[in-house]
A and B are shown apart, each in its own frame.
Chain A
Amino acid sequence: MSPESRVVGKRLTGREFLPRVRGSALYAADMVREGLLHAAVVRSPIPHGEILAIDDSAARAVPGVRAVFTAKDVPGTNRYGLIKKDQHLFSDGRVRFVGDAMAMVVAESAEAAEEGRRAVRVDYRALPAVFDPDEALRPDAPQVHEGGNVACVSRIERGDAQAALRRADVVVENTYSTSMIEHAFLEPHAALGEIDEEGRVAVHVGTQDAHANLRDVAALLGLPEERCRIVQAATGGAFGGKIDLTAHGFVALAAHRLRRPVKLVMSREEVFLASNKRHPMRIHAKTGATRDGKLAAVWFEAVADAGAYTSATPGVTSRCAIHAAGPYEIENVHVAVTGVYTNHPICGAMRGFGVGQATVVHESQMDLLARELGMDPIELRLRNALRRGSTTGTGQVLGGSVAIGETLRQIRKVRERRIQEGPPASPREGPGAEGAGGRGPARRTLYGMGVASMWHGVGVTGLPNPSSARLEVDEAGELTLFTGAADMGQGATTVLGQVAAEEMGLPFEAVRVVQGDTGRTPEAGISAATRQTFMSGNAIRLAAEAIKRELVPALADVLEARAEDIRVEDGFVAVRGTRGRGLPFAEAARRAVVARGGVGFRGEATFEPETTPLDPQTGRGKPYMTYSFGSQLVEVAVDADTGEVKVLRVAAAHEVGRAINPLLIEGQLNGGVAMGMGYGLLERFDPYKTRNFQDYHLPRTTDAPEVECLLVEEPDPFGPFGAKGVGEPPLHPTAPAILNAIHDATGIRIRSLPVRREEILKALRASGGAEAGRRQQR
């Protein structure tokens, strides 16, 4: 209705944030019901074995215990899974990792449930286990699943990479490894199941996709979907960790069987033990170029530890493969990424979905190539950067906005400014400083800058991933957006509300948003894959068009005007060509509803991005409708005595199409940089050793660098108001830019994440770099 943006582009803070800050947001763990029962899950203490018997008699004798459930009590199909249904709510007689669920105790109190859980006796026959994916690929390796340990292989073939590498003037070849990572969301998994007022089995849970969860829960219970309901509770972070079923199936089964509300709250230790992780990968890469810096070929082969079950592994390997060559024009590409089952915890969806691992490699390779060629690393990237109309490794011709070049030019400006200013004073060297690691002065500090770029396809890879949205005007004349899009704290509620308000010509505050309830909202697909702003934003625009087709003529009738003369701006319905003739939207809409007998207005629409599946042998296809791009400049100080790497400043330039809400994008950029710092410098999940945050080290606020956020706006022709997603992208460049900055500072190339200080110290000692305090020429 309005040609100008009045809500889109504003730095708004939506209603969903204050309750979180004030502590009034209702998480599943906080929910109470009359007659509430509590559940505790019995999990496997061994990584691989056959269950011979489960004796629950002692558990049933514990005062307060009401029931013990095992696989035989699952009324439907005891199988679920994000892509392949190979996980079991309760083990089918075989356990495949420490943490595999075997039984559940339900009791009147959490304490009784816990005591019952400890009382369940399980007899096992231990089976040989395999923990290394390379070992798992050997013919004589223990078989985690029938049919072999290869979960999937994702391939990209374009041109002839081997031949091009032979012809290339310069080739860099390296092997990299990345670590297993914990999501580390603030809210541990929790769910409450109950029978709702309509007799449905309802589950309140922190989730990223209520509708997908509904299908799995209904199948477990053997019920039609309409007899089940998933309601998204306030969700305290997710990062991909709340896509699969977590606590949902357990409480749904118990509520269904006992007809009483049941709650399951996992401890942090249980989450660490049983929840999905990020895939660790070992990657061998070769990158070739001509003497003038034109990329000739990329050869990339990776093995990913999938853990015990499939979960999102095929999605991770395919996304990793597609992005393996980086945001560059390359004629010859060979990529193979193999997901391998082991007896480790399940590796599944996590922010980045395999792109982070690929970015570490292609951006390290680009820096090494620049050194070999004697070129500026930014110039090398610019020379090869994708443009609109470029063809990717999958053969896709890019039709969306492609501003990787502009992000590089932006950080080049920052770099020039930084060089002129000189390195910042290390926080430890300033007044009041306190020492090594933050406490005591440091002197032998080596300073370096590093650059890295990224690209990230928006949406689910090569699969249908529609989003639907519905707008309704009720009898009070108020507008409500119904969307299945989950908000885990990232601000989807605000952004989608802004899109709806803009489309309808209303102030942001006038739009009510109902979301994440399969009983009330249409399916929007997963809140992951950097997709909701793009997919649901488009769906809302289409829904707005749909509702306006009925609403605008009705408003015209109320105002006794022609439909084509109706304008809605800032919540006021005006008649074009008249002075002051009009009504507030709510009043006009209310009268319009009354005029049609109290029947409200409703518009619902679905947006389906144009994608095609990838050919399994060549990877050819159109996996995403559009991509997001970005580049980061990282400055580090390396303490030559202790090996500590301090990230001083980060300039993060990201192409967002159009910034619907710059404030929330800056939040994503700051969060992504912090997560990338953890990936690069601190975080490593050692299966069966890392138990909680005492062992798992995250960046703290005191580690956080100054982040300069540079939003590059080049409207995408397919995005709502030109917008595209930014949820995952800012994570990707940080870790490789840190590696490149360390190399700049010390001359040491780290190829294994997270950075180990011993590696820096040994190399510095060997090179005498600690004494020299060298600084690379740029």
Chain B
Amino acid sequence: MTAAPQYLEPASLREALDLLAEGGTAVLGGGTQLVPALRDGGPGTGGRPRRLLDPRRIAELSGIRQDKDRLSIGALTRLSDLASSPQAAARAPLLSRAAGITSVPQMRNRGTLGGKLFNPGRFAEIAASLLVLGGEVRLLRAGGERRVGLAEFLCRPGGPRVSEDELLVSVDVNAARPLRASLQVIEPLRWRSPYHLALALARPAPREVHFALAGSAGVFGRFERTLGDGGDDGATGESRAAAAASRDFRARHPEARDTYTDLILEGLVRRGIEDALQERGET
């Protein structure tokens, strides 16, 4: 029978980075994705790690800290802790709400924010919220530190990647002030459904709309629009903004034309703006 991976439980960040530098090691978060993959053989037995590194004893990787205009969330922070954090609720309520509704309670109680970043289509609420807020992820290796913008990290074709010797330490999101924002989720929980989709929308200024879209078909990115006035044709400002947002989306994602995402985008954005204007569903 195939040998079980060696289990490593470093006590410090330094020890963890040294172990990762040796190669052949997978990092365990909450285990909600890696453990089933190991049990089921994973995508290929060739990729089976020799060692599993469990960083739970490393204090720096957990918890939420206010750092000037940013909220630094440790990669090992459980989604349920993020959802119930007063700090997160005050400074990044959109993300707090996303963490409270994504997936199922068992997954939220066990799953970590860092782990979920590697499957953004499945945790579309998290991905969309992070994209709208903006910020970066902090990665450490024995030789130094690397910071990658959230948009670059999450929207990378083929999904987020870190090198074998890197450890995701924290997710640092912009939180200078809480944004007026809303979150729309279609087919929550059915993350493999073609209809699973999350739209996060924020208004950093009365006439500015930022939104991000993620779902089972991928992370579609972050978009910005200015909310114009109603026109002579009777269209409302939000309808115009929604139509323009839809055009932005199609220009950047021509492959998505006539997919569900494309078809509903305009309506969903319009709804999000209306919610924001009428302070419905806002956080």
Contact = CB atoms under 8 A, between A and B. Distances in A.
Contacts of A441: 275, 280-281
In this complex, the member of A439, A442, A444, A762 whose beta carbon has the largest number of chain B beta carbons within 10 angstroms is A439
A440 B183 contact: yes
B212 to A, nearest CB: 15
Nearest to A693: B192
B190 A697 contact: yes
A761 B264 contact: yes
Interface string A693-735: 0110100100000000000000000000000000000000000
B141 to A, nearest CB: 33
B260 A440 contact: no
B67 interface: no
Interface in B1-18: 1
29 contacts: A111-B1, A434-B101, A435-B183, A435-B185, A436-B184, A437-B184, A437-B185, A439-B184, A440-B185, A440-B271, A440-B280, A440-B281, A441-B275, A441-B280, A443-B271, A641-B264, A641-B270, A642-B267, A643-B263, A694-B192, A695-B192, A697-B190, A757-B260, A757-B264, A758-B258, A758-B259, A758-B263, A761-B263, A761-B264
Contacts of A640: 267
Interface string B194-229: 010000000000000000000000000000000000
A492 interface: no
A633 interface: no
A71 to B, nearest CB: 27
Interface string B219-260: 000000000000000000000000000000000000000111
**Most chain A beta carbons < 10 A, residue from B188, B268, B270:** B188
A574 B182 CA distance: 74
Interface residues of B, number: 28
Nearest to B191: A694
Given A111-B1, A697-B190, A642 B281 contact: no
Given A441-B281, A761-B263, A641 B271 contact: yes
Given A441-B280, A757-B260, A436 B186 contact: yes
A642 B193 CA distance: 14
B164 interface: no
A642 B188 CA distance: 13
Given A443-B271, A697-B190, A436 B185 contact: yes
Nearest to B271: A641
A115 interface: yes
B145 interface: no
B187 interface: yes
A647 to B, nearest CB: 15
B122 to A, nearest CB: 9
A701 to B, nearest CB: 12
A437 B270 contact: no
Contacts of B192: 694-695
A443 B189 CA distance: 23
Contact of A439 (B188, B193, B263): B188
Interface in A360-403: none
A436 B274 CA distance: 13
Most buried by A among B1, B101, B275: B1
Interface string A194-228: 00000000000000000000000000000000000
A643 B182 contact: no
B263 A440 contact: no
B275 A437 contact: no
Contact of A435 (B184, B191, B259): B184
A690 B268 CA distance: 29
Contacts of B268: 436, 641-642
A758 B217 CA distance: 15
B281 A435 contact: yes
Question: Which of B191, B260, B263, B268 has the most C-beta atoms of chain A within 10 angstroms of its own C-beta?
Answer: B263
B255 to A, nearest CB: 16
B199 to A, nearest CB: 8
A115 B45 CA distance: 13
A441 B274 CA distance: 10
A440 B184 contact: yes
A641 B183 CA distance: 15
A644 B186 contact: yes
Given A439-B101, A440-B183, 9 more contacts: A434-B281, A437-B185, A440-B184, A441-B281, A442-B271, A642-B268, A643-B263, A761-B263, A762-B263
A153 interface: no
Interface of A: 111-112, 115, 434-444, 640-644, 694-695, 697, 700, 757-758, 761-762, 765, 770
Residue among A435, A643, A757 facing the most chain B CB atoms (10 A cut-off): A435
Contacts of A642: 186, 195, 264, 267-268
Contacts of B260: 643, 757-758, 761
Nearest to A643: B264
Contacts of B270: 641
Nearest to B267: A641
A764 to B, nearest CB: 10
Contact of B1 (A112, A436, A697): A112
A640 B264 CA distance: 9
A644 B187 CA distance: 9
Given A641-B264, A642-B268, A439 B185 contact: yes
A695 B263 CA distance: 22
A642 B265 CA distance: 9
Contacts of A435: 183-185, 281
A750 to B, nearest CB: 15
7 residue pairs, one from A and one from B, having the closest CB atoms: A641-B267, A437-B186, A761-B263, A440-B281, A439-B185, A440-B184, A436-B184
Contacts of A434: 101, 281
A77 to B, nearest CB: 36
A437 B260 CA distance: 14
A440 B275 contact: yes
Interface string B13-25: 0000000000000
Contacts of B195: 642, 644, 757
A69 B281 CA distance: 61
Given A641-B271, A697-B193, A438 B188 contact: yes
A622 B271 CA distance: 57
A440 B195 CA distance: 16
Contacts of A641: 264, 267-268, 270-271
Contacts of B191: 694
Contacts of B263: 643, 757-758, 761-762, 765
Q: Which of A112, A642, A644 has the most CB of B within 10 A?
A: A642
Nearest to A63: B1
B197 to A, nearest CB: 9
Contacts of B259: 758
Contacts of A444: 267
Contacts of B271: 436, 440, 442-443, 641
A324 B184 CA distance: 43
Contacts of B185: 435-440
Contact of A440 (B182, B193, B258): B182
A560 to B, nearest CB: 68
A359 B258 CA distance: 31
A614 B187 CA distance: 46
Nearest to B198: A439
A106 B263 CA distance: 52
A700 B258 CA distance: 28
Contacts of A439: 101, 183-185, 188
B166 to A, nearest CB: 29
A643 B195 CA distance: 10
Contacts of A697: 190, 193
Nearest to B272: A440
A437 B186 CA distance: 5
Contacts of A443: 271, 274
Contacts of B190: 697
Interface in B93-151: 101
A442 B188 CA distance: 15
Contacts of B182: 440
